[in-house]
Chain A
Amino acid sequence: MKISRRTFLKISGATAAGTVVGGLGFDLSPAEVYAQELRIKGAKATTTICCYCSVGCGIIVHTDAQGKVINAEGDPDHPINEGALCPKGGSSFQIAVNPNRLQKVRYRAPYSTAWKDVTWEWTLNKIAANIKKSRDESFLPMNADGKVVNRTKGIASVGSAALDNEECWLYQKFLRSLGLVFIEHQARI
Chain B
Amino acid sequence: MRSIFFLALAACGGGPGGAGPTLLQNKGSDTMVNLMQRMSEAYTASHPDTVIAVTGGGSGTGIKSLIDGTTDLANSSRKMKEEEIALAKKNGKDPVETIIAFDGLAIYVNTANPVATLSFENLRCIFGADGACKKWSDLGVTLDCGGTDDIVKVGRQNNSGTYEYFHEEVLGKDGKFTNTMDQSGTQQVVDVVSTSTCAIGYGGMGYHNDKARFVCLAKTTGEPCVVPSLETVKAHEYPFSRPLQVYTNGKPTGASQVFLDWALSEAGQKIVLEAGFVPK
A, B in one complex:
no
A residues with CB within 8 A of B: none
